[in-house]
């Protein structure tokens, strides 16, 4: 009978995987570092050879010797002194346009012709580096042309070092990198063993197979529920999730078990419930573009809190809130504004044609086409996300209808797919901020008809997403700003203010920042800043 193979423990699995990762990382890192350091060394060496060659090409002694076209003791003494004081340079040659040497480190070769076959380009007035075999061996060379006072080339200078010296420096770099890699490998293996032991202890000595066996007994009961259940232990590690929960967060069981709830579901913050021991009901968030309502309950063993449970329900069937969240209302308003503006312009054209002003009608159409082209091109070039671009175009049209100048700053940029927020969230934030700005300008208290302007700035890079909307409206008091930041509050009347509430919820769920600066009679500036998360995963 074949003996059953004993499964490899989680400890050894982690050790093996971590060692493999460390080795692969070291091999790749060493190869990249070696290439970099060797290239840097050659660049530094080439720079040094270039400096000496350039200096010699401008030296009066070199120029005078080449003009006389014969060797001189003064030149020999001068260059011999340079070679004696520079250990990196092994050979210096000065030759005329025919290649005949007027200086060489080996004085017997003075008067003989240059060897190597790589001196053609320097005779054409070029300076460059090359590798070639000369009379003294394989060399790394740098050539520089020499010109007289009339800017007529009279010869060239070649400065070189032996390739054996270059190879020796490369070998030293390789040896040092190998020593460093060996040290890092030893440290990496030690850390892998420590990490494996720590994870093993965090699982209370259980192997994954044992944990699965225990959880299987519970799964059949909870998987029949429509509500999503996610449970964590007192360390904030997920120990259970039923099928409904996995569907809501687009995950498989193996992807989240024994993982930190702060990593998998940062929006719900179950560890706060573990720490506080307090329950919370009817909270809302957005997970993978789904509108979720959830409850948080502490799990107690007598009086001690040993974990927490999240009960999640999908409430996307609530159409009104879904429309607000996805920005459907903003697009509908934009389409209406476009339609009104389009009809107004058609009436102008029709009137011009009826009175026989055909040339004026042509000029009007040309000017409209030019202006619209500028607006569309500016936005589509800066805003690659088509939904947001369409929203901005619609808001500009609505602003024209209300006699409000809406403009996007030229240094704005938004990629097609944001790393920080979903398209729905972007539309909700931008649409509501612009709509609020228009309301602030159009309110009855505001009477500045010559200064009605809204300025929009949107910019995303690898670390931040910034959205700002500035208006020249009526402004707000400090009390109003504080009330808006705290929750559902609006100066527009009872039942209003849902837009700012949605913005505040999105910003809080993304761990971002909402800043409001406003002065009565001057205007308001609202900024939303979402920064790159360093330690938490999850999708926006």
pLDDT tens digits, 310-354: 888 876 544 444 444 444 555 555 555 555 555 666 666 667 667
Residue 32 inside a domain? The answer is yes
What whole-number distance in Å separates Cα of residue 333 and Cα of residue 338? 9
Residue 540 inside a domain? The answer is no
Write down the pLDDT at residue 466: 92
Considering the domain architecture, whether residues 338 and 406 belong to the same structural domain is answered as: yes
Considering the domain architecture, whether residues 259 and 114 belong to the same structural domain is answered as: no
The burial class, CB within 10 Å (0-12 / 13-18 / 19+), for 467 is buried
Considering the domain architecture, whether residues 96 and 227 belong to the same structural domain is answered as: no
Write down the pLDDT at residue 468: 92
Considering the domain architecture, whether residues 340 and 485 belong to the same structural domain is answered as: yes
Considering the domain architecture, whether residues 491 and 390 belong to the same structural domain is answered as: yes
Residue 196 inside a domain? The answer is yes
What whole-number distance in Å separates Cα of residue 539 and Cα of residue 209? 29
Q: DSSP code of 107?
A: G
Residue 292 inside a domain? The answer is yes
Considering the domain architecture, whether residues 269 and 360 belong to the same structural domain is answered as: no
The burial class, CB within 10 Å (0-12 / 13-18 / 19+), for 211 is middle
Report pTM.
0.38
Q: Indicate the residue among 163, 185, 202 that finishes a domain.
A: 202
Exposed e or buried b per residue across 123-158, where buried means at least 16 C-beta atoms within 10 angstroms of its C-beta: beeebebbebebbbeebbbbbbbbbeeeeebbbbbb
Residue 425 inside a domain? The answer is yes
What whole-number distance in Å separates Cα of residue 266 and Cα of residue 310? 12
Q: Tokens 């809130």 label which residue?
A: 321
Considering the domain architecture, whether residues 224 and 335 belong to the same structural domain is answered as: no
Rounded alpha-carbon distances, angstroms, from residue 214 to 9, 126, 204, 241: 18, 79, 14, 14
What whole-number distance in Å separates Cα of residue 257 and Cα of residue 242? 11
Considering the domain architecture, whether residues 157 and 212 belong to the same structural domain is answered as: no
Q: Indicate the residue among 153, 168, 202 that finishes a domain.
A: 202
Residue 537 inside a domain? The answer is no
In CATH, what number is assigned to the domain containing residue 407? 3.30.565.10
CA 333 to chain CA mean position, Å: 34
pLDDT in tens, 427-476: 888 888 888 888 888 775 656 566 788 889 999 988 889 999 998 888 88
In CATH, what number is assigned to the domain containing residue 260? 3.30.450.20
Considering the domain architecture, whether residues 179 and 245 belong to the same structural domain is answered as: no
What whole-number distance in Å separates Cα of residue 106 and Cα of residue 147? 25
Considering the domain architecture, whether residues 48 and 60 belong to the same structural domain is answered as: yes
Write down the pLDDT at residue 368: 60
Write down the pLDDT at residue 320: 47
- Structural domains in the chain (count): 3
Q: Indicate the residue among 316, 349, 370 that finishes a domain.
A: 316
**76's tokens:** 């020999």
**How do beta strands 91-96 and 101-103 pair?**
antiparallel
Residue 56 inside a domain? The answer is yes
The burial class, CB within 10 Å (0-12 / 13-18 / 19+), for 228 is buried
Considering the domain architecture, whether residues 232 and 155 belong to the same structural domain is answered as: no
Considering the domain architecture, whether residues 221 and 342 belong to the same structural domain is answered as: no
Mark out the alpha helices in 386-520 (DSSP H runs): 386-401, 423-442, 478-486, 498-509
Closest CA to 103 of 114, 94, 116: 94
Domain coverage including residue 520: 320-531
Residue 101 inside a domain? The answer is yes
| Residues of the chain where predicted confidence (pLDDT) is lower than 70 | 1-11, 166, 196, 200, 202-215, 217-219, 315-350, 352-353, 359-365, 367-378, 444-450, 486-498, 534-540
Exposed e or buried b per residue across 311-341, where buried means at least 16 C-beta atoms within 10 angstroms of its C-beta: bbebeeeeeeeeebbbbebbbebbeebbeeb
């Amino acid at each position: 009978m074949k003996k059953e193979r004993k499964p490899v423990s989680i400890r050894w699995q982690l050790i093996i995987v971590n060692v493999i990762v460390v080795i692969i990382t070291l091999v790749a890192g060493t190869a990249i570092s070696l290439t970099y350091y060797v290239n840097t060394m050659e660049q530094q060496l080439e720079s040094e050879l270039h400096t000496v060659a350039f200096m010699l090409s401008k030296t009066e002694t070199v120029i005078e010797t080449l003009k006389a076209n014969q060797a001189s003791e003064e030149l020999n003494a001068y260059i011999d002194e340079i070679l004696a004081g520079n250990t990196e340079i092994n050979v210096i040659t000065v030759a005329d346009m025919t290649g005949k040497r007027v200086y060489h480190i080996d004085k017997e070769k003075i008067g003989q012709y240059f060897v190597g076959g790589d001196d053609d380009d320097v005779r054409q007035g070029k300076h460059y580096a090359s590798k070639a075999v000369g009379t003294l061996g394989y060399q790394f060379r740098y050539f520089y042309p020499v010109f007289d006072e009339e800017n007529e080339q009279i010869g060239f200078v070649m400065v070189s070092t032996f390739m054996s010296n270059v190879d020796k420096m490369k070998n030293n770099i390789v040896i040092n990198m190998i020593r460093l890699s060996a040290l890092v490998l030893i440290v990496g293996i030690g850390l892998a063993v420590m990490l494996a032991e720590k994870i093993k202890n965090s699982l209370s000595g259980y192997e994954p197979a044992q944990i699965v066996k225990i959880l299987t007994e519970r799964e059949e009961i909870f998987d029949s529920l429509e509500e999503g259940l996610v449970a964590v232990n007192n360390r904030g590690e997920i120990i259970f999730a039923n099928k409904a929960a996995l569907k809501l967060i687009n995950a498989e069981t193996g992807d989240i078990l024994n993982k930190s709830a702060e990593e998998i579901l940062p929006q719900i913050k179950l560890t706060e419930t573990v720490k506080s021991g307090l329950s919370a009901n009817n909270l809302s968030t957005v997970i993978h573009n789904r509108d979720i309502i959830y409850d948080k309950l502490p799990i107690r063993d007598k009086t001690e809190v040993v974990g927490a449970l999240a009960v999640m329900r999908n409430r996307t069937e609530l159409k009104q809130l879904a429309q607000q969240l996805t920005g459907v209302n903003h697009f509908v308003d934009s389409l209406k504004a476009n339609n009104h503006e389009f009809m107004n312009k058609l009436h102008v054209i029709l009137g011009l044609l009826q009175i026989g002003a055909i040339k004026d009608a042509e000029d009007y159409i040309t000017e409209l086409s030019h202006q619209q082209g500028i607006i569309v091109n500016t936005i589509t070039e800066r805003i690659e996300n088509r939904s947001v671009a369409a929203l901005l175009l619609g808001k500009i049209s609505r602003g024209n209808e209300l006699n409000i100048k809406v403009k996007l700053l030229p240094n704005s940029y938004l990629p097609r797919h944001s790393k920080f927020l979903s398209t729905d969230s972007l539309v909700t934030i931008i649409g509501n901020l612009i709509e609020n700005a228009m309301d602030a300008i159009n309110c009855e208290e505001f009477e500045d008809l010559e200064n009605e302007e809204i300025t929009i700035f949107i910019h995303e890079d690898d670390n931040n997403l910034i959205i700002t909307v500035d208006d020249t409206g009526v402004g707000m008091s400090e009390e109003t700003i504080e009330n808006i930041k705290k929750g559902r509050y609006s100066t527009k009347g009872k039942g209003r203010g849902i837009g700012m509430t949605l913005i505040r919820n999105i910003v809080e769920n993304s761990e971002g920042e909402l800043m409001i600066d406003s002065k009565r009679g001057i205007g308001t500036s609202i900024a939303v800043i979402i920064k790159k998360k360093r330690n938490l995963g999850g999708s926006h």
